[in-house]
Structure formats: C-alpha cells, structure tokens
C-alpha cells in the first residue's frame, strides 16, 4: 500500500472518528438536557400540588399563582404563606414525588421566622440502607415569609443513571475508536518497519551484485586456465565456484525482482516467442544437472500454434522456478515431465514431478510471499519462499491463469493457461 493511500486513510479515519464522537457527545448532551427539563417540570408540578395540599390542610385560600421558585439547578423554594408542620410536609412531599415518579434523595427545611433560619428539616433517602442524619445547609430566601426549601443532592447522578444505555453505547464506541486508533498506529508503524526492511534488503542485494560479478569473472578465468584444466581437483573446485556463484546470483535476482513487483516497477518487455522453443532451451540447460542427481526430464510438446506474446525473461524464470522446486523437493531421483497443448484458443503448459508433494491445507498458501511448505523429514532445502510468489505475480501481470495440483508423497503438477 502506498504512503499516500495510508495517509488518506488516516486522515479520513480521523475525520470520521471526530465526527462520530461529536455526534455522540451532542446526543448525550441533548438527552441529559431533555431529561433535566422533564425532571424540573415534574418537580414544579409536584411542589405546586404540595403547596395546594398544605393550604387546604390549613384551610386557607391559595391565591399564589406561581408558588414554586427555582433558586439553582437542584434547589427550590415553595411559598405557602402560612406556618408549616414538618411531618405533614414530609407526607405530602413523599406522596407527590411518588405520583410524579421522582425517585431520588431529597432534603427539605422550613423557614422559621423567630430564629430567621431554615429549620425542621430532614434528609429523605430512597436507599433504605443509607442513613443521613445531618442536614445540608439550605439557603434562605428573603422575598417570602412562610416557605420551605427542598434540595436534590443527587440530582446529577440520578439523571445520569436515567441515561445508562446512552452511556454504555458511548463507552463501547470509545473502546471501538480506541481500538481503531491503536490498530492504525500499529499499521503505520509496521509500514515504516516494512519500508526500512525493504530498503535494507534492496540495498543489500544490490551490494551483492558487485562481488558476484567479480567472482563470476574470476571463476571463468580459472576454468579457462590450461593448468587448472589439467588438474581435475582444481577444475572441479572452479566449477563448483561457478555453479554456486550462479545460484547466489539467481537468489539475489529473485529478491530484486520481488522488490520491483511490490513497488509496481516491474515492466514487461513483451515480444513474440514460441513457447515450445523456450521450454526446449530451459530443458537443455537443466538436463545435465538432473542427470547428475540420477533424475531426468522429458517433454511432450504437442501444441502446434505455440506463438505467444510475453516477457521472455520472466517466462524463463518461471520455468526455472518450477523445475528448481521439483528438484529440491524430492526424496528420490527427480523425474519431471513438461507438456504443452492447445484447446479453444488457449495454450496449456503443464509441469509435473514425482516429488514429495504438497499437503492439501498448504496449497492455497504457496503463492504467498515468504511461505515455505513444511517438508517433514527434509530439512536441507534452502530458499526464501519467494519462488512461487514471483510466479504468481508474473502470471498476474501477463493475465495468465495457473493452478497447482498436488498429492502428498506422489508429486505435484503445475498448470498454466495462456491466451495465444
């Protein structure tokens, strides 16, 4: 994934997160405000009824139009214009609050003209286990003569408890957002580490090219030297140096090609070539190596119209990759068969072997980068796990279809479907 894409995702994700959080905060605020208004209206209605009941109890008219006055968000003053009995007041308050479904603790106090203080109060708790004997300090109100004050000390927690569902959803949203931010941070960090790793591997492999070229030239000089040709041991050693250097060069090339593929820099140099001819060329170069291992390679090139347009270098690399795997993953003398055929406008290239095979659960993973099939008793197979990944990417670039069929301990068959 490109840096610009990741940056755009991060920006859009941040905007989305900010938007979701803002909406959630807005709705919670609106819900709390609405519930607070409903609570205040219920309190006003209940306290007005209490004032009417007290007037009736005292056998007085009730000319006061608005006897309830809100001093603060949780403190109310009720004008009754007559002396108040604390027990009667408590009884009426409990009844009216019960009718209005107000189920939060409250405390009340009655103004005493003689002492000019708020007295005769009590803390009323809906929690039977809670005992509060000490009354909070309720302020006086100078405009009324006979009145009582009522305070709701737990109003905020009561309103919040009424929005538990909203709060739970907000908490879950916060967890989700936190996880998204954490995951995004991990992705960005892994991306930076991956880029550092790729740069390191790319630079390292490029640095390998110079000594590999030097060794290759030196091995060629040694192989052409007449004195070395006459000494079998020295000639064999020089040949080993040549072969292993070529193997190292091939591994470095695979790493570089994989890097180019990932960075989208793989450019195909397509040309018209004959598939059968390319197969014969590769077979000729690996035949001697196979025979030294006690194996063999045979061909059934039945395709007549085998002219295709592709990148010859990548096609050759694909053939070498598949054949190299067939040789490496074999417990006995490797036998490889390469076949070409044509049907309904398509060319089919099939490469089969008698190797150790691939277990069914691993077949879908062999095209993944760095994946290597567990080899059981075989522990000496070297590689990076890039071969079949490279094959997959080249086929994708050419719009070829390919599949692997394999059976454990019976061999593997790789089939390519090529448009000609």
Closest by CA to 178, choosing from 301, 46, 368, 13, is: 13
Whole-model pTM over 0.95: no
Closest by CA to 93, choosing from 69, 84, 61, 64, is: 84
Close Cβ partners of 136 (under 8 Å, ≥ 6 residues apart): 107, 123, 151, 153
d(CA 286, CA 331): 19
Task: Give the pLDDT band (50/70/90) at residue 134.
Answer: low
Q: Each residue of 45-71: pLDDT tens digit?
A: 999 999 888 888 887 776 567 888 988
Range among 62-66, 133-137, 263-267 rated most confident: 62-66
Q: What proportion of the chain, given as a percentage, has pLDDT over 70?
A: 89
Task: Give the pLDDT band (50/70/90) at residue 379.
Answer: very low
The residue with greater pLDDT, 231 or 267, is 231
Residue 121's H or E segment, with its range, is: strand 117-124
Range among 159-168, 296-305, 387-396 rated most confident: 296-305
pLDDT of residue 264: 62
Given a cut of 70, whether residue 132 has pLDDT beyond it is no
DSSP assignment of 375-402, as one string?
-TT-------S-HHHHHHHHHHHHT-EE
Task: Give the pLDDT band (50/70/90) at residue 381.
Answer: low
Lowest-confidence range among 99-108, 199-208, 380-389? 380-389
Q: What is the mean pLDDT of residues 237-249?
A: 82
């Amino acid at each position: 994934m490109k840096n610009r894409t990741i940056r755009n995702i991060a920006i859009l994700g941040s905007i989305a997160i900010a938007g979701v959080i803002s909406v959630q905060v807005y709705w919670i605020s609106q819900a709390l405000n609405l519930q607070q208004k409903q609570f205040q209206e219920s309190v006003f209605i209940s306290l007005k009824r209490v004032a009417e009941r007290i007037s009736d109890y005292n056998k007085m008219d009730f000319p006061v139009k608005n006897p309830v006055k809100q001093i603060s968000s949780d403190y109310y003053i009720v004008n009754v214009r007559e002396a108040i009995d604390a027990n009667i007041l408590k009884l009426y308050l409990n009844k009216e609050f019960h009718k209005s479904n107000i189920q939060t603790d409250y405390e009340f106090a009655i103004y005493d003209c003689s002492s000019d203080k708020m007295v005769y109060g009590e803390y009323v708790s809906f929690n039977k286990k809670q005992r509060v004997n000490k009354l909070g300090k309720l302020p006086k109100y100078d405009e009324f003569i006979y009145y009582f004050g009522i305070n709701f000390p737990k109003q905020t927690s009561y309103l919040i408890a009424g929005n538990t569902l909203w709060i739970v959803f907000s908490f879950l949203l916060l967890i989700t957002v936190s996880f998204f931010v954490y995951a995004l941070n991990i992705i960005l960090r892994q991306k930076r580490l991956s880029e550092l790793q790729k740069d390191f591997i790319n630079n390292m492999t490029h640095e390998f090219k110079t000594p590999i070229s030097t060794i290759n030239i030196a091995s060629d000089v040694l192989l052409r030297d007449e004195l070395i040709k006459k000494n079998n041991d020295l000639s064999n050693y020089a040949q080993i140096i040549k072969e292993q250097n070529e193997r190292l060069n091939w591994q470095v090339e695979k790493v570089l090609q994989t890097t180019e593929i990932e960075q989208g820099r793989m450019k195909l140099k397509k040309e018209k070539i004959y598939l059968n001819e390319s197969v014969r060329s590769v077979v000729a170069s690996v035949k001697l190596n196979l025979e030294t291992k006690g194996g063999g390679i045979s061909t059934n090139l039945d395709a007549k119209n085998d002219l295709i347009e592709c990148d010859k270098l990548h096609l050759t690399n694909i053939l070498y990759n598949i054949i190299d795997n067939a040789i490496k993953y074999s417990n006995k003398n490797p036998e490889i068969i390469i076949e070409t055929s044509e049907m309904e406008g398509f060319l089919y290239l099939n490469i089969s072997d008698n190797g150790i095979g691939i277990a069914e659960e691993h077949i879908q993973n062999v095209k993944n980068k760095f994946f290597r099939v567990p080899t059981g008793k075989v522990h000496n197979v070297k590689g990076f796990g890039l071969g079949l990944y490279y094959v997959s990417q080249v086929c994708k670039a050419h719009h070829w279809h390919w599949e692997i069929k394999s059976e454990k301990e019976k061999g593997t068959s790789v089939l390519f479907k090529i448009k000609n």
